[in-house]
Amino acid sequence: MADDAGDPRRARRLLGLGAVLGIALAGAGLVRGAGGPGGGLAAGDVARVNGAPVRAETLERILAPRGITPAYIAFYSPGNPAFDPVAVAAAAASPDIVILADPGRNSVSFLKRLREMAPALPVLSIGGALGDARLAASIPLSAPVYVQAAAWRGVSPAATAYVERYEHRYGAPPVGYSDTLPYDAVTVLVAAWRKAGSVDSAVVVPVLERDAFPGVAGMYRFDAAHQARWGTGPGALQGSFVLWERDGARIVFPPR
């Protein structure tokens, strides 16, 4: 996401697309999507950020203070994806990086199609199937392919131990989101039960609101809306960014 060196007036440009829309912000910050409509490229399209409906123009307002301007935002239907129009438009928009927020296997198919049209265009996947080492092995690496994950082997002793246990049991490493976060959710809940000395929600919720709980992804703290604190602020969960290479994945954030 480098600045355009030739013209300082031009902001950095991003491309967000997928059945779920996600935008990566300034290093570790993340706007996380869940859900989204199929089709359409208009500014009135609706994604979901942290469970709340957000229109494309709202995402632009979130990005603007960070000097990032979306070059193009698109949604394709997860049930009946039409990759070609989106891939063609993505290549034509020539952004600095594509932010792909489709968590399903459609993301792999879309990326292969995009590579045919724009082989030098970097891509960042917000979690999802592209974090699966078995699927990643089939990805053309003519340009960087990054994956954002809740945790990854090597980020911390807890993350490494979790990955090794998971791989021993299931024969393949976790993808970093859909398996890690449910594991952490149960871990945090059990820890809160123990601290509260009860499973009664009236007793447990204040404990969750007040205390911090270690998990594979880091230390969990919850905001007033009872959402885990993700972002760049002190004590927030930041996640990991990895770069797929021919012999595996390399962690690029947090800095090593």
pLDDT value of position 56:
64
pLDDT value of position 39:
27
pTM to 2 decimals?
0.75
Is the predicted pLDDT of residue 166 greater than 70, yes or no? Answer: yes
Compute the distance between CA of residue 151 and CA of residue 156 in angstroms, rounded to an integer: 8
Compute the distance between CA of residue 176 and CA of residue 163 in angstroms, rounded to an integer: 9
| Of the ranges 136-140, 186-190, 230-234, the best mean pLDDT one | 186-190
Identify the residue with better confidence: 75 or 85. 85
Return the amino acid letter for 92.
A
Quick one: tokens of 42?
């208009």
Is the predicted pLDDT of residue 111 greater than 80, yes or no? Answer: yes
Is the predicted pLDDT of residue 50 greater than 50, yes or no? Answer: no
| Of the ranges 20-29, 83-92, 161-170, 174-183, the best mean pLDDT one | 161-170
Compute the distance between CA of residue 78 and CA of residue 236 in angstroms, rounded to an integer: 31
Is the predicted pLDDT of residue 14 greater than 60, yes or no? Answer: no
Is the predicted pLDDT of residue 37 greater than 50, yes or no? Answer: no
Identify the residue with better confidence: 19 or 95. 95
Identify the residue with better confidence: 138 or 49. 138
Quick one: tokens of 229?
């604190």
pLDDT value of position 42:
28
- Average pLDDT in the 122-131 region? 86
% of the chain exceeding 90 in pLDDT: 32
The Cα-based distances of 35 to 8, 18, 48, 106, 135 in angstroms read: 35, 10, 6, 14, 23
Domains of the chain (ranges, CATH numbers): 12-150+239-253 (3.40.50.2300), 157-220 (no CATH)
Question: Taking the C-alpha atoms of 151, 185, 21 and 134 in order, what is their torsion angle to the nearest 10 degrees?
Answer: 50
Count CB atoms within 10 A of the CB of residue 246: 6
Is the predicted pLDDT of residue 112 greater than 70, yes or no? Answer: yes
Is the predicted pLDDT of residue 46 greater than 60, yes or no? Answer: no
Compute the distance between CA of residue 199 and CA of residue 193 in angstroms, rounded to an integer: 5
